[in-house]
Chains A and B, each alone.
Chain A
Amino acid sequence: MENMKRDKTVHRGVCHLLLAMLALVLPAAVSAEPSGQAMSFTCAGCHGTDGASVGPSMPAIAGMDPEVFVDAMQAYRQDERNASIMNRIAKAYTDEQLKEMAWFFASQRLRLFPQPHDPVLAEQGARLHEEYCEKCHEKGGRPGDAGTLAGQWMPYLHYSMEDFINGKRKWPRKMQRKVDAAIEAAGDKAIPALVNYYGSQQ
């Protein structure tokens, strides 16, 4: 009897606590979709906290241009871009949610990690970049409407360029012409040189 009474009291206490918790949580859960920040938490596993990827083949997405982000996600969603799993992930989000996430990452500051690179190649890459890439990937490829190249993880850059060259990713307007010209000028070293240049930047 005594036990029963205590049990009841405990139950009532737990109920009250749950109710109180519900009262606090429910409105938030019901009234709004998950925020861009909340949705972006799920990206952290691969792209690092707040998009600051710790590499090496996962691109940093912190500080990314929001429209470039949305373009990329939409391309994945429509299977227009060579993906490992991003095509599946991208399909889970609405346009609005993509925009929310884009704004979240755009509000982050890009963190760059030092990468081992070949300074000679990087030097050559710097010249190639200036000649063929700078007009679109301005300021040495800093984040912008042409994506983030400066300080980007080098293996990722390699894979991306391979995708472009192997026809697995659609060239943006004019890019093929420029890359072809760079390869024409520097041969097989062109892409490694450029990748080393971008990887060399801090």
Chain B
Amino acid sequence: MPRRIAITGFVSLLAALLCTSIVPVAFATATEQPEEELMIDHFDPETGKRVIPNERCLTCHGDQQQQTDVRDDGTPVQIFVHSKEIEASVHGSQSCTSCHVTIDRVPHRKAPAVIVGCIECHRDTWEKHKNDTDDKYARLKVVNEQIGSYMQSIHAQPSKLDQSRTNATCYDCHEGHNIGELGSIQRAEKRLKNPEVCGRCHEKELEDYRTSDHGKAVLEKKDSESAVCSDCHTTHDIASPETDKAMLAITKNCGDCHEEAQRTYFKSYHGQVHRLGYTDAAKCHDCHGGHSVKGEDDPTSEIHADNRLENCRNCHEEANDNFLSFWPHGDAHDRENYPGLWAFRVFMEILIFSVMGFFWIHVLLWLYREVMDRIQGKGFVEDLSQPDLVYFRRFPVVWRWIHFLFAIATMTLILTGTTLLFSHTAWAKAVVEFLGGIRMEGIIHRTAAILWLGIFFIHLAIATSNIWRQRKTFEWFGSTSLIPNMKDLQDLKNMFKWFLGRGPRPEFSHWTYWQKFDYWAPFWGATVIGASGLILFMPDKTSLILPGWTFNIANLVHAEEALLAAIFLNSVHFFNVHFRPERFPMSTAIFTGVIPIDEFKHDHRLEYERLVAAGELEKHLVQRPSRRVSLVASFITTVLIMTGLTLLTLVLFGLITIPS
């Protein structure tokens, strides 16, 4: 054993001996705080992480006397939090570090950053408690829905200036330490504070808002009923204001308070486009201004008479003073304020109800009569032992083409036009989307309208030239003339008698009275729909000569007349031509141009007899159309009938579901 170690051992032993005598003495004088916890008790036994009680944080952060501290770079920083507020908030029982998870040492060894994530905890807690029988955590459902909305919002997008952070996060808007329960005082106060909170980032908008009627009510009069930012922009589902989503939501939200204004807006063309989900037409804020919205009497208001035209010109670049007399919220049901519009509506509705009422009764009675006749073995029945071989030519090729194109154009117009009229329906939205959006729909509608009017005028030209060529011999009230005469009135009367079983079926000439009605109705329609359509087609041009309120009238009558045509054609016209038992399921005469001679004899007895007497019948007789021509005609007729019935269904569905 080396000597040095031996000595060391000896000294150690001596020291040990000394200790045995000294240490007890030392222990006798030493004090212990047995009531105090051991140091390890300040650590979580499971995770080994330090447990930092809230009081420890509040030593500095709850000190009213020293509400600020200085950062490492010497700049001041506000560190004070209201402990009482936290305790009274929904998070009152949470520890500071359950949110401030990066804080692990007190005093902080490094400059602490506010790194707080709210979402995970709220999601996990809801996941854990969503099946609870009590409703202690029920509100978390809404919180999680809002989180979902927030995550889709512009606020959750990375900031353009700094991609490492989002545009805004939970605690930028919510006062993290002062979140109240539903109905709490914190929430009431929060509403009044909303503009200031948003204005911390959106400074310019807040400045505009301050000058608005909303802003004055909220910020000056402390009227929490008036609109704050989130009422229009939503709380969490906030989209960039340039997006359709935001513009649609904002306009919809205006209506939450301004119900009447929204109702009348939706009646206008602007509103109809909006309700279809498109932002191309004017929305509330386009005319009223967004953040700086004011009443019309305020000279700085965008809707003040002096400023309004400028707004119109944002879209209608050539708008002139006549635009000012347009009623953006014109209400055809408001007799007091819009008597002219009201009168047009009443007239159009009387027209629709009387025409439809009359013809539907006509249809039902006719159906009744033919069914009764059939039961009694009467009426026109195809003779199967003698199939039709001889046909009577009723329509030359040009009329057949005209009818075909007219039908296609009309149906296209009905489809595209009624989407606006019934913009509240899902089918309307689907149709517009299918067609490629509202602008494409506008193009299609206008193209069809030009085609429709074109056909109408071409027909007029042909008819006029035909009459001109036969001007020497043309009998205005002759048997082949379409001009209504007294016999038509007589026929109508006798038809009703026949319907009711009080007389024989009247005998008709070349054109029956219902055929004449079908012929002349488009003249009225072309005038009303065509004229109103042209006004709406070119508002900038028409306003050069017409006052702005004619747009309101045009919009109203265009829609009402179109509705009448759509319902009439697809129900009454279809019945008279195709669906009455004698004709069911269809007549293809307008496409083949011919009808069996027996049918002609039955339906146009007088003309048949006249032709026979004059020896002219032979001129009009043709062979039975080929099988292929029959099939093509049946096919086209079937497609058009099915389309017409579909349109009728959509229109009736739209009418029934129209919001009151």
Residues in chain A within 8 A of chain B (CB atoms): 49, 52, 54, 63-67, 103, 105-114, 134-136, 138, 142-146, 172-174, 177, 202
Contact = CB atoms under 8 A, between A and B. Distances in A.
B436 interface: no
A84 to B, nearest CB: 19
Interface string B58-72: 011001000000101
A109 B32 contact: yes
A104 to B, nearest CB: 10
Given A113-B30, A138-B59, A65 B106 contact: no
A134 B107 CA distance: 11
A202 B31 contact: yes
B347 interface: no
Given A107-B39, A112-B30, A173 B50 contact: no
A111 B50 contact: no
24 contacts: A49-B23, A52-B30, A65-B42, A66-B39, A66-B40, A66-B43, A106-B39, A106-B40, A109-B34, A109-B36, A109-B38, A111-B27, A111-B30, A111-B32, A134-B59, A136-B107, A145-B105, A145-B107, A146-B107, A172-B109, A173-B72, A173-B108, A173-B110, A174-B107
Contacts of B107: 135-136, 145-146, 172-174
B190 to A, nearest CB: 32
B174 interface: no
A173 B30 contact: no
B113 interface: no
B613 to A, nearest CB: 121
Nearest to A69: B39
B56 interface: yes
A106 B38 contact: yes
Contacts of B40: 66, 103, 106-107
B106 A63 contact: no
Contact of A65 (B33, B39, B60, B72): B39
Interface of B: 22-23, 26-27, 29-34, 36, 38-40, 42-43, 50, 56, 59-60, 63, 70, 72, 105-111
Contacts of A134: 59
A177 B73 CA distance: 13
Contacts of B56: 138
A150 B27 CA distance: 18
A143 B32 contact: no
A173 to B, nearest CB: 7
Contacts of B38: 63, 106-109
B50 A112 contact: no
Contacts of B105: 67, 145
Contacts of A52: 30
A33 B70 CA distance: 46
A58 B96 CA distance: 36
Contacts of B22: 54
A134 B60 CA distance: 10
Contacts of A114: 29, 31
A54 B30 CA distance: 9
Given A106-B39, A110-B32, A138-B56, 12 more contacts: A66-B39, A66-B40, A105-B39, A109-B34, A109-B38, A111-B30, A111-B32, A113-B30, A142-B36, A145-B106, A177-B70, A202-B31
A145 B52 CA distance: 10
A132 B60 CA distance: 12
A108 B39 CA distance: 8
Q: Which 4 A-B pairs have CB atoms at the shortest separation, nearest pair first?
A: A106-B39, A111-B30, A136-B107, A106-B40
A80 to B, nearest CB: 14
Nearest to A62: B39
A112 B31 contact: yes
A136 B60 CA distance: 9
A62 to B, nearest CB: 9
A202 B36 CA distance: 13
Nearest to A139: B36
A20 B34 CA distance: 42
B109 A112 contact: no
A173 B59 contact: no
A64 B42 CA distance: 11
A64 B31 contact: no
Contact of A67 (B27, B32, B50, B60): B50
Contacts of A177: 70
A191 to B, nearest CB: 20
B30 A63 contact: no
A45 to B, nearest CB: 9
B46 to A, nearest CB: 14
Contacts of A146: 107
Contacts of B32: 109-112
A111 B31 contact: yes
Contacts of A106: 38-40, 43
A113 B40 CA distance: 22
A113 to B, nearest CB: 5
A37 to B, nearest CB: 13
Nearest to B74: A177
Contact of B39 (A111, A138, A143, A174): A143
A132 to B, nearest CB: 12
Contacts of A54: 22-23, 26
Nearest to B104: A67
A114 B60 CA distance: 31
A61 to B, nearest CB: 11
A2 B39 CA distance: 65
A103 B34 CA distance: 19
B356 to A, nearest CB: 86
A23 B35 CA distance: 43
Given A145-B105, A145-B107, A172-B109, A113 B26 contact: yes
A50 B56 CA distance: 28
Nearest to A202: B31
Given A54-B26, A173-B109, A145 B50 contact: yes
